[in-house]
């Protein structure tokens, strides 16, 4: 490996302590505290090293900073030059005018040996996961996460975490997605909750690789749109574009986001439930089939019980009542009882949302059903929206002329329960004059495209993963698809 050929490593193992004799080990091993050896620290934040490219990256909050004068720290036995200028250790150094995406030459001298490394500044936050362990789907492995924010006055976040792969099909992709839970110590049972990127306190978080979506923004933008709906309990995760490192290897662009769980939803009532649709199960999660007896464990016909904790209590009754009514209930029972089981306005919004984003893999699976108390109705929450906006779950392009539904929505429309069709038509018209206007939809996507383009991170993605993403072509396709999609949906909802 390139990093091990940079300088010879000399270490002496004394007990459990590893002592390095005046050498920078660029691709250093992880120590007992789950830390890597410092190469260069700027404003008390470590520069992240990639051993393959022999490069360093550091986040800043402006595209250009004039007379950048940070605190510089490095190993005391090193001599370091920045663009030919000798740096003073543990001191403020004026690096001159710097800008993102430009490469700066760092020369490190140790015992007469020199090494050149390229330092690049980026507008994206940098997240580094440090672990000496192999990563699995299950069980979680112990690791440490280090978050370097671009803002100079925002301190680095560091947490022990339990780390694992996440997703089903996505685990077969080159670029993996990860889930992690925050820990108060190196003990995997020591769960804690905290805020990352000023998001809600949570124990569970996601690092989304966004692999099938070459635009790298469909899931993020979809949730931003769902959150813009007014009212009707639109629980939407927040997420941030970041650059991810695993130890000393750059992984490219990721989205660090919230996880939908009982903590995120603040579920604490004894009768609250949260179900996640994870599989199709012969159409069960599309309300096409119904099995008479719900099980005494956490899994039932494609749904998983997420709350209450199935180790403590199993409660399938709300879902059982809903499935029974939708699948085998007569029209009279359906129209008289359905509004007591589901929040009709919330389901109106989800049907519209499902169709504007055209998430074909979300008519059954990739949703949550949530009920906060015994008197509350069931609400639906979207999830995993990479396969949307003209993209299928496998990354292939889809038509803009399909209407997405399932048997629950079909019955609501066919029976026109509670004037469901009228509510759909009215709500669509209201949204088209607001967040669904062509201008607003394009603005949301263009803002995210602009942020990604500014970072030039796609060039790193293409090099790292051998991909051939043309972000400009992706943007053109998506904007053109949106224009055609809303025209098609205008006609559909106008003729309900």
Same-domain check for residues 364 and 231: no
Find the mean pLDDT for residues 175-196.
Answer: 97
- Among 167-176, 237-246, 308-317, 413-422, name the one with the lowest average pLDDT: 167-176
Same-domain check for residues 229 and 333: no
C-alpha separations of 421 from 363, 482, 488, 490 in Å: 18, 23, 17, 14
pLDDT, residue 22, reads 58
Same-domain check for residues 482 and 336: yes
- The mean predicted confidence, pLDDT, of the chain is 93
- The pTM for the full model equals 0.92
Whether pLDDT at 298 is above 80: yes
Same-domain check for residues 151 and 34: no
Spatial distance between the Cα atoms of 233 and 350, rounded to a whole number of angstroms: 11
Same-domain check for residues 193 and 241: yes
Residue ranges making up the domain that contains 457: 262-494
Determine the longest span between alpha carbons in the chain, in angstroms: 88
Same-domain check for residues 35 and 132: no
Considering 258, 277, 306, which residue would you say is the last residue of a domain?
258
Spatial distance between the Cα atoms of 345 and 341, rounded to a whole number of angstroms: 12
Same-domain check for residues 431 and 301: yes
Same-domain check for residues 286 and 351: yes
| pLDDT band of 172, cuts 50, 70, 90 | confident
Considering 122, 143, 168, which residue would you say is the last residue of a domain?
122
Same-domain check for residues 333 and 408: yes
Number of domains in the chain: 3
What token pair was written down for 481? 């698809």
| pLDDT band of 12, cuts 50, 70, 90 | very low
Q: 């970041």: which residue's tokens?
A: 242
Find the mean pLDDT for residues 199-220.
Answer: 97
Q: How many CA atoms lie within 13 A of 243 on its CB side?
A: 33
Considering 88, 122, 156, which residue would you say is the last residue of a domain?
122
| Adjacency order of strands within the sheet including 55-59 | 48-50, 55-59, 113-122, 103-110, 79-82, 85-86
With 0-12 / 13-18 / 19 or more C-beta atoms within 10 angstroms meaning exposed / middle / buried, residue 394 is exposed
Closest CA to 140 of 184, 179, 192: 179
| pLDDT band of 25, cuts 50, 70, 90 | confident
| Helix residue spans in 281-376 (DSSP H) | 317-328, 331-341, 344-357
Same-domain check for residues 286 and 233: no
Same-domain check for residues 113 and 209: no
pLDDT, residue 84, reads 97
Q: State the pairing for strand pair 113-122/91-92.
A: unpaired
Spatial distance between the Cα atoms of 366 and 356, rounded to a whole number of angstroms: 16
| pLDDT band of 18, cuts 50, 70, 90 | very low
Spatial distance between the Cα atoms of 373 and 272, rounded to a whole number of angstroms: 5
Find the mean pLDDT for residues 281-302.
Answer: 94
pLDDT in tens, 394-420: 999 999 999 999 999 999 999 999 999
C-alpha separations of 394 from 128, 361, 413, 446, 462 in Å: 28, 10, 30, 24, 19
**Percentage of residues in the chain having pLDDT higher than 90:** 90
pLDDT, residue 170, reads 65
pLDDT, residue 23, reads 64
What token pair was written down for 304? 């998983």
Backbone angles phi, psi at 409, to 5 degrees: -65, -35
Whether pLDDT at 32 is above 80: yes
pLDDT, residue 231, reads 72
Find the mean pLDDT for residues 101-108.
Answer: 98
Find the mean pLDDT for residues 59-81.
Answer: 97
Whether pLDDT at 5 is above 50: no
pLDDT in tens, 440-468: 999 999 999 999 999 999 999 999 999 99
Backbone angles phi, psi at 494, to 5 degrees: -65, -25
Neighbouring residues of 269: CB distance < 8 A, sequence distance ≥ 6: 372, 373, 374
Same-domain check for residues 83 and 210: no
Q: 């569970």: which residue's tokens?
A: 204
């Amino acid at each position: 490996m390139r990093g091990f050929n940079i300088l010879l490593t000399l270490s002496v193992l004394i007990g459990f302590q590893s002592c390095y004799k005046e050498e920078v080990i660029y691709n250093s091993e992880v120590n007992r505290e789950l830390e890597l050896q410092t190469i260069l620290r700027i404003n008390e934040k470590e520069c992240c090293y990639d051993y393959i490219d022999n490069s360093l990256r550091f986040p800043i909050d402006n595209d250009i900073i004039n007379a950048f004068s940070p605190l510089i720290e490095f190993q005391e036995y090193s001599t370091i030059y920045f663009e030919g200028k000798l740096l003073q250790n543990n001191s403020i150094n004026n690096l001159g005018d710097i800008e993102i995406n430009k490469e700066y030459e760092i020369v490190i001298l140790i015992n007469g040996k020199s090494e050149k490394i390229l330092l690049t500044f980026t507008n994206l936050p940098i997240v580094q996961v440090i672990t000496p362990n192999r990563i699995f789907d299950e069980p979680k492995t112990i690791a440490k996460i280090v978050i370097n924010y671009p803002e100079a006055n925002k301190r680095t976040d560091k947490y022990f975490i339990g780390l694992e792969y996440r997703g089903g099909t996505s685990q077969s992709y080159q670029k993996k997605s990860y889930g992690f839970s925050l820990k108060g110590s190196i003990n995997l049972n020591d769960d804690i909750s905290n805020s990352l990127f000023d998001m809600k306190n949570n124990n569970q978080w996601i690092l989304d690789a966004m692999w099938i979506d070459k635009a790298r923004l469909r899931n993020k933008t979809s949730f931003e749109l769902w959150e813009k709906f007014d009212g009707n309990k639109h629980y939407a995760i927040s997420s941030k574009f970041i650059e991810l490192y695993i130890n000393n290897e750059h992984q490219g662009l990721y989205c660090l986001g919230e996880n939908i769980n009982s903590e995120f939803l603040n579920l604490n009532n004894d009768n609250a439930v949260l179900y996640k649709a994870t599989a199709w199960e012969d159409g069960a999660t599309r309300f096409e089939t119904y099995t008479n007896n719900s099980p005494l464990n956490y899994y039932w016909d494609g749904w998983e019980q997420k709350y209450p904790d199935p180790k403590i209590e199993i409660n399938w009754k709300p879902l059982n009542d809903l499935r029974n009514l939708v699948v085998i209930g007569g029209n009279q029972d359906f129209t008289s009882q359905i509004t007591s089981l589901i929040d009709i306005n919330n389901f109106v919004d989800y049907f519209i949302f499902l169709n504007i984003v055209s998430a074909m893999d979300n008519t059954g699976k990739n949703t949550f059903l949530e009920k906060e108390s015994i008197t509350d109705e069931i609400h639906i929450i979207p999830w995993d929206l990479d396969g949307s906006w003209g993209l299928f779950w496998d990354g292939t392009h889809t038509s803009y002329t399909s209407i997405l539904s399932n048997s629950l929505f079909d019955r609501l429309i066919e029976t026109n329960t509670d004037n469901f069709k009228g509510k759909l038509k009215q709500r669509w018209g209201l949204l088209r004059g607001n967040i669904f206007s062509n201008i607003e939809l394009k603005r949301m996507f263009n803002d995210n495209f602009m942020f990604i383009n500014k970072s030039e991170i796609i060039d790193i993605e293409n090099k790292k993963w051998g991909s051939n993403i043309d972000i400009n072509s992706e943007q053109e396709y998506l904007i053109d698809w949106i224009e055609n999609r809303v025209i098609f949906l205008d006609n559909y909802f106008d003729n309900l």
